[in-house]
A and B are shown apart, each in its own frame.
Chain A
């Protein structure tokens, strides 16, 4: 099993604040994905990072893949109440028998208060 640890588990902040969520593993992944999940819904893919050191930006969200392809971070600038949700990272296995399989972290529950 390729484990992914996410921190913090819970994050409660005021609108306008910045935040960073971390996703760490001892395993190397071919790529890493970030998902956002709202209550009563399934996860929705936000981004896939593929290259070690890669940085991708989606409006106020910045995703970074570690140089060794074992960890990633998600930074949100000027958080808004609409950013509230469960953020999940998922590593994509590069091992033969599990190639392409997703291994999910347990998620960071973000609440942004107006």
Chain B
């Protein structure tokens, strides 16, 4: 198994530009999570999907952030327009179930976003 795939490891963009982060979950996993990690705030859940449907987006910081999961094997997190304070490492994770059961969340390698 290839694990969770985040093929873009580093993304650099300029303030005001649109940026799209991409994720391919582990095949067969019903849950997909987007997290953001910064030194100040640590690892925070932004949104998660169950069977391609957004369940909890309370962690999405502003309307500038949006996420989609058009099918079971692909998800995107878009920031438009981007701002320097959005600079962080964005992780995608997937699992067969929610934490607390026997299911484990598997994290991708992350995309380090720098907004100049």
Q: Which residues on A are within 8 Å of B, measured CB to CB?
A: 30-31, 33, 40-45, 48, 50, 88, 90, 92, 94, 98-107
Contact = CB atoms under 8 A, between A and B. Distances in A.
Contacts, number: 61
How big is the B interface, by class? Answer: 20 to 34
Interface of B: 4, 9, 39, 41-45, 48, 56, 91, 93, 97-101, 104-110
* Chain B CB within 10 A, most for which of A43, A94, A98, A103: A43
A34 B116 CA distance: 34
A105 B42 contact: yes
Contacts of B42: 88, 104-107
Given A43-B43, A106-B42, A100 B99 contact: yes
A30 B100 contact: yes
